[in-house]
Chains A and B, each alone.
Chain A
């Protein structure tokens, strides 16, 4: 008798799970399908602009123009709080190779930093936040701004 009651209780819970989960799954699917239908004729660029914002996309495209596909660049973590921004910039600029300098606030003085930088890396990209556009600078401008204490 106890076993039968327990089985019935389990089946009621199973039915409740279906009653909650299935409509939600169908509603989520319908929402995604409608969204996809609206964006079906978008180019990859338009889709990225919709998702990440025009300013972010413009900054990434500027960096891509400045660094050749098999080129290298210097990447700096300039976030106020951890949002993964250096990872997203690195992904968007791949296959360009990144030399990670670390957090902006922890960088050594320019006099110490300058000799450590490889000659090939002429562009510095500062990752500022998850959806905030990265700053793209040439190396000399970046080091000068560090010297002035502007960063």
Chain B
């Protein structure tokens, strides 16, 4: 019970820090509290764990409770101050009564979320990468109170993937510190469990804006029961893989950058979320960069419509949020490079060392006959995904006319980006079929938020066409 309370306290601390940050972000301030919650939790994790990561590496900030509380207190105080100074208070938008579909979706998400938290807080961690990499790294980090513990920086000690980004292990260590966890107590598991409702709130928020309440609720109903998200397979919220956090940071950053009328502060918040993606997993930096490029392409066109401004100012206004978003991403990538410089690599694939630009074009093509059957099997026949991709493929084919717009193209590219990164990795790996068979399902998870938005838009189109 103590463990559970400690875990929930850590989740509340991250959410409170994010809530403070959200008060400073106009695009988030406009959202209802429910839709804002997902972004606030993610922002809180990025701010606190990212701040500890940077502080520990750059100025030897000790990863102990006072540092965690001080970092969380800054945005909370700023948020309170911003709210207090905002005069007069903004009029509240009228709330619509909830209809059956949103209520059903909310009930399903609530049921599964409670069960995920219950499972995470009463059963010891027993997944593969969670124990092999993320939680083991967190134990070394917490013990020495630094992101460069002896076990990582001295080559002779046995550590797998020592250069993997440490955002989630640092968040784990922060949660363990705040909860005062002893040996074998795992309050950090609540952090991962929270990513389940967060991902579905992101789907609800993004789909509601693009497809309306009914289609958004259907989108949530379609995604929420996917076994991989909760209890089955590698990457579930009841475990400690970094794929679901990455899916959330990546999806949230993308959604924020696709909003209309963004200001530079909104861009900074999106950049913080994408920095979280870059610091969560190796592929996160590539996905964050891809998001910035997609957002720049998406936002570059509407500036033509702002006729009353001079062309240079129109362009600047459209792209200023993306430029602001690039700053935290760049900082995260530089931090990662600087931290990695002190960590000797071992027990790791070392993809960059395997990359041979001269051979790559050939490898990208010649390995497809091996990779495509594995990808198809893991997409359509995996118990972890159940019937989701069968249904999604048919609905998207039938309702594609409803998403064939500029935003649809961006979402499709964002869904495909993790798969493209995987394809690149499989093309240089010495055992492509093995690595594809153990990672493909998680790559699908990483692109789930944009995929679910496409699905919701296609569903809306199908509903209209079928005159239901």
Measured CB to CB, the residues of A under 8 A from B are: 3-4, 6-11, 13-14, 16-18, 20-22, 24-26, 28-30, 32-33, 35-37, 39-42, 44-45, 47-48, 51-52, 64, 69-70, 72, 75, 84, 86-88, 90-91, 94-95, 97-100, 118
Of the candidates B182, B232, B398, which one forms a contact with A10 in the assembled complex, judged by CB atoms under 8 Å apart?
Answer: B398
Of the candidates A4, A25, A70, A97, which one forms a contact with B108 in the assembled complex, judged by CB atoms under 8 Å apart?
Answer: A25
Instruction: Say whether B119 contacts A36, CB under 8 Å.
Output: yes
Distance (whole angstroms) from the CB of B464 to the closest CB of chain A: 8
Known A25-B112, A28-B231, A99-B158; judge A52-B225 contact (CB<8 A).
no
Q: Which residue of A lies closest to B396 (CB)?
A: A10
Instruction: Say whether A4 contacts B395, CB under 8 Å.
Output: no
Instruction: Say whether B387 contacts A98, CB under 8 Å.
Output: no
Is the contact region of chain A dominated by helix, strand, or loop, or is it mixed?
helix
Q: Which residue of A lies closest to B139 (CB)?
A: A94
Instruction: Say whether A70 contacts B158, CB under 8 Å.
Output: no
Q: Which residues of A contact B126 (CB under 8 A)?
A: 51-52
Q: Does B83 contact A (CB under 8 A)?
A: no
Instruction: Say whether B386 contacts A26, CB under 8 Å.
Output: no
Within 8 A of A (CB), among B122-169: 122-124, 126, 128, 131-132, 135-136, 139-140, 142-144, 149-151, 156-158, 160
Q: Which residues of A contact B139 (CB under 8 A)?
A: 91, 94-95
Q: Which residues of A contact B397 (CB under 8 A)?
A: 6, 10
Distance (whole angstroms) from the CB of A24 to the closest CB of chain B: 7
Q: Which residues of A contact B394 (CB under 8 A)?
A: 9-10, 13
Known A13-B391, A17-B388; judge A97-B150 contact (CB<8 A).
yes
Distance (whole angstroms) from the CB of A15 to the closest CB of chain B: 9
Q: Which residue of A lies closest to B128 (CB)?
A: A84
Distance (whole angstroms) from the CB of A62 to the closest CB of chain B: 14
Instruction: Say whether A95 contacts B143, CB under 8 Å.
Output: yes
Instruction: Say whether A6 contacts B398, CB under 8 Å.
Output: yes
* Residue of A29, A45, A90 with highest tally of chain B CB at under 10 A: A29
Instruction: Say whether B184 contacts A44, CB under 8 Å.
Output: yes
Q: Which residues of A contact B221 (CB under 8 A)?
A: 18, 22
Known A26-B108, A36-B119, A84-B132; judge A11-B463 contact (CB<8 A).
yes
Instruction: Say whether B132 contacts A87, CB under 8 Å.
Output: yes
Of the candidates A8, A21, A29, A52, which one forms a contact with B387 in the assembled complex, judged by CB atoms under 8 Å apart?
Answer: A21
Instruction: Say whether B160 contacts A87, CB under 8 Å.
Output: yes
Of the candidates A4, A42, A88, A99, which one forms a contact with B131 in the assembled complex, judged by CB atoms under 8 Å apart?
Answer: A88
The 7 closest A-B pairs by CB, nearest first: A25-B225, A95-B143, A36-B118, A29-B115, A10-B398, A94-B139, A100-B158
Known A21-B387, A99-B157; judge A40-B398 contact (CB<8 A).
no
- A87 and B296 CA atoms in complex are apart in Å by 43
Q: Which residues of A contact B398 (CB under 8 A)?
A: 3, 6-7, 9-10
Per-residue CB contact flags for chain B residues 108-124 toward chain A (1 = under 8 Å, else 0) read: 10011011101101111
A sample of 19 more A-B contacts (CB under 8 A), given A22-B225, A29-B112, A99-B158, is A4-B467, A6-B465, A8-B462, A9-B394, A13-B390, A21-B387, A22-B221, A26-B111, A28-B227, A33-B115, A44-B3, A47-B123, A51-B123, A84-B132, A87-B136, A91-B131, A91-B132, A94-B140, A95-B143
Q: Does B218 contact A (CB under 8 A)?
A: yes
Q: Which residue of B lies closest to A131 (CB)?
A: B126
Q: Which residues of B contact A91 (CB under 8 A)?
A: 131-132, 135-136, 139
Q: Which residues of A contact B160 (CB under 8 A)?
A: 87
Q: How large is the interface on B (under 10, 10 to 19, 20 to 34, 35 or more residues)?
A: 35 or more
Of the candidates B131, B156, B186, B386, which one forms a contact with A24 in the assembled complex, judged by CB atoms under 8 Å apart?
Answer: B386
28 contacts across the A-B interface (CB closer than 8 A): A3-B398, A6-B465, A8-B466, A9-B398, A10-B398, A11-B395, A11-B462, A13-B391, A14-B218, A17-B222, A21-B226, A25-B225, A28-B227, A29-B114, A30-B115, A33-B118, A36-B123, A39-B123, A44-B184, A84-B132, A87-B132, A91-B131, A91-B139, A95-B139, A95-B142, A97-B157, A98-B157, A98-B158
Q: Does B224 contact A (CB under 8 A)?
A: yes
Q: Which residue of A lies closest to B111 (CB)?
A: A29
Instruction: Say whether B461 contacts A7, CB under 8 Å.
Output: yes
- A4 and B121 CA atoms in complex are apart in Å by 48
Q: Which residue of B lies closest to A73 (CB)?
A: B158
Q: Which residues of A contact B1 (CB under 8 A)?
A: 40-41
Known A7-B399, A95-B140, A98-B157; judge A40-B122 contact (CB<8 A).
yes
- A94 and B108 CA atoms in complex are apart in Å by 38
Q: Which residues of B contact A41 (CB under 8 A)?
A: 1
Within 8 A of A (CB), among B411-468: 458-459, 461-463, 465-468
- A4 and B118 CA atoms in complex are apart in Å by 44
Instruction: Say whether A35 contacts B122, CB under 8 Å.
Output: yes
Q: Which residues of B contact A37 (CB under 8 A)?
A: 118
- A87 and B121 CA atoms in complex are apart in Å by 22
- A10 and B400 CA atoms in complex are apart in Å by 11
Instruction: Say whether B466 contacts A97, CB under 8 Å.
Output: no
Instruction: Say whether B140 contacts A17, CB under 8 Å.
Output: no
Q: Does B230 contact A (CB under 8 A)?
A: yes
Q: Which residues of B contact A98 (CB under 8 A)?
A: 157-158
* Residue of A10, A25, A47, A99 with highest tally of chain B CB at under 10 A: A10
- A150 and B3 CA atoms in complex are apart in Å by 44
- A76 and B149 CA atoms in complex are apart in Å by 23
Instruction: Say whether A99 contacts B156, CB under 8 Å.
Output: yes
- A72 and B123 CA atoms in complex are apart in Å by 28
- A95 and B238 CA atoms in complex are apart in Å by 23
Instruction: Say whether A14 contacts B158, CB under 8 Å.
Output: no
Instruction: Say whether A87 contacts B230, CB under 8 Å.
Output: no
Known A6-B398, A29-B114, A36-B121; judge A21-B143 contact (CB<8 A).
no
